[in-house]
Amino acid sequence: MIKKHIGNRLVGDMPKIGIRPIVDGRRGGIRESLEEVTMNMARAVAELLSSQLRHSNGLPVECVVADTCIGGVAEAAQTAAKFEREGVGVSISVTPSWCYPLETIDTHPTMPKAIWGFNGTERPGAVYLAAANSAHNQKGLPTFSIYGRDVQDMGDTTIPADVEEKLLRFAKAALAVATMKGKSYLSLGSVSMGIAGCIADEPFFQRYLGMRNEYVDMSEFVRRIERGIYDAEEFERALAWAKANCQPGQDVNSPHLKRSDEQKERDWETVVKMALIARDLMVGNPKLAEMGYGEEALGRNAIAAGFQGQRQWTDHFPTGDFMEAILSSSFDWNGIREPYILSTENDTLNAVTMLFGHLLTDAAQIFADVRTYWSPEAVKRVTGKQLEGRAAGGVIHLINSGPAALDGTGCMTKNGEPAMKPFWEIEEHEVEACLKATKWCPAVDFFRGGGFSTDFLTKGGMPVTMARINLIHGLGPVLQLAEGYTVDLPEDIHDALDKRTDPTWPTTWFVPNLTGTGAFRDVYSVMATWGSNHCALSYGHIGADLITLAAMLRIPVSMHNVSADRIFRPSLWSAFGTSDPESADYRACAQLGPLYG
């Protein structure tokens, strides 16, 4: 039985959700008649969120309900003090009635906020909701407005489906914001091959994400390898696991460039040590303290990291592909556990995008080059065959040598269909299937130091979302995303197309959902509009969740194919225009500025 590792490997407690029951403070009959129904409303929300949500590390989400209903500023202050003591990072206010907005709203400057105003007619919470939204907006404190479509009776403790959807979407995105705050991004090396996304833009990390930047030169891997600064027992166990589970793939190098079996054996030892060292650099390892390396044992409290690799490392040492792929997966020699977010080429912006997707889905992510758009005409010319089904309008070839998580094979299932799942839902046979579907190929000729690349083909039929953060001069960060599906191509078509690039790398064939307009009028337009050479691929159609998260961080969304009825942003956004939400998003984010100033 493979062990599942649930727990927090970073410094700091997991953020909690604070529930604020708001009440009409007038005593002498009014407040007294509302106390119980208001507190029951708060408890119902707490029960919903704690039962439906987990943190990405598998720990349960905890909700903290205010000690009393909040009828005025004193009780608001008492609740704020309790939330600070309890480590609350997300605020949700609820009320079934009219209350005094300025005296009861949450005025924390950076905490994500939502208000559910009960849609009832006896003492309409919607009136408070509107007034409280107005107060928040006037103070520059965006809040997400939740208002059920249908009128309910006073005392009804059920949460309507549309309200539940918004509560869950808000809470998951807000927890992502709170989880990132105070953590580190660790650059292992610097800029790879002149890729701008590798630049660690500290103002972006600090002002938008509340994170700090840490830097370690790649020579630290050499030092730790040569001096044995890693758990030797774990290394032997990890190496044995790799030899038993990592199937060798084809060696496509010319005969004079092929490495000997002895060299490949040494390469495996090196890449396994690299995986241990990268993990230790990110989150620390108490075993190192026992060995006399107390400083190294602490790690960098890194929630995400990136490895430069090319070219200074890969011209001389084995590639980081095994390290990146296995750490990014949901399992290794220690069992089933939360994926690490580790970006190839130290692409900091793709690492952040992967982090967003991971915190929203709890699952592993696929890092990929947005390599090629294959039109139906080009496929017909090259293969003599016609694309069919979802692929009939053309496909985008997503491929990269290293950090595509093995979960990306699609060998896990949900309801009998290919999937990528939170690690606590993964079964032992699914781990075995992912490993069986992956080959480890000797690195190609331009990786002069050797190493091994992951090679797999993602199963078709998975709903996925392709996303990317880009930094734009004079504008700042923008998010783009495309919901769509992975697709299967006939084997002969896949082979013909795949061999034109690098057949030793993992391939995902992706087709976006088209709207017929703008960037989504056809598959070519999606490829042509994409803002970078990289993307992150998340399981599920999570575009609406990404849009909600981006709004919390004040990052505008430049490109998406999410229907209007699924988009959930703070009520303040409507003040910047309602006929063109995309433009309003830009204006709202520009006016408010980064979440952390």
324 is in an annotated binding site: no
| Distance in angstroms (rounded) separating the CA atoms of residues 316 and 448 | 6
Cis check for the bond before 311: say yes or no (omega within 30 of 0). Answer: yes
Contact assessment for residue 107 and residue 77, using Cβ atoms and an 8 Å cutoff: no
315 is in an annotated binding site: no
CA 82, 87, 93: angle at the middle one, nearest 5? 60
Contact assessment for residue 188 and residue 218, using Cβ atoms and an 8 Å cutoff: yes
The closest of 317, 305, 355 to 198, measured between CA atoms, is 305
Contacts of 52 (CB under 8 A, 6+ apart): 168
Contact assessment for residue 507 and residue 486, using Cβ atoms and an 8 Å cutoff: no
The closest of 417, 402, 406 to 192, measured between CA atoms, is 402
Q: Does residue 345 carry a catalytic annotation?
A: yes
Identify how many contiguous H helices and E strands the chain contains and give both numbers. Answer: 19, 24
Residue in this structure with the two tokens 């758990």, named with its chain if needed:
231
As given in the structure block, the two tokens for residue 519 are: 């960037």
Contact assessment for residue 349 and residue 197, using Cβ atoms and an 8 Å cutoff: yes
Contact assessment for residue 185 and residue 356, using Cβ atoms and an 8 Å cutoff: no
Q: Catalytic: which of 231, 369, 430, 585?
A: 369
Amino acid at 197: G
Residue in this structure with the two tokens 């909700």, named with its chain if needed:
63
The closest of 364, 424, 352 to 177, measured between CA atoms, is 352
Q: Catalytic: which of 75, 106, 267, 345?
A: 345
585 is in an annotated binding site: no
Q: Does residue 369 carry a catalytic annotation?
A: yes
The closest of 2, 4, 436, 411 to 245, measured between CA atoms, is 436
Q: Which residues are annotated as a binding site for Mn(2+)?
A: 345, 369, 534
Q: Which residues are annotated as a binding site?
A: 345, 369, 534
Enumerate the active-site residues.
Answer: 345, 369
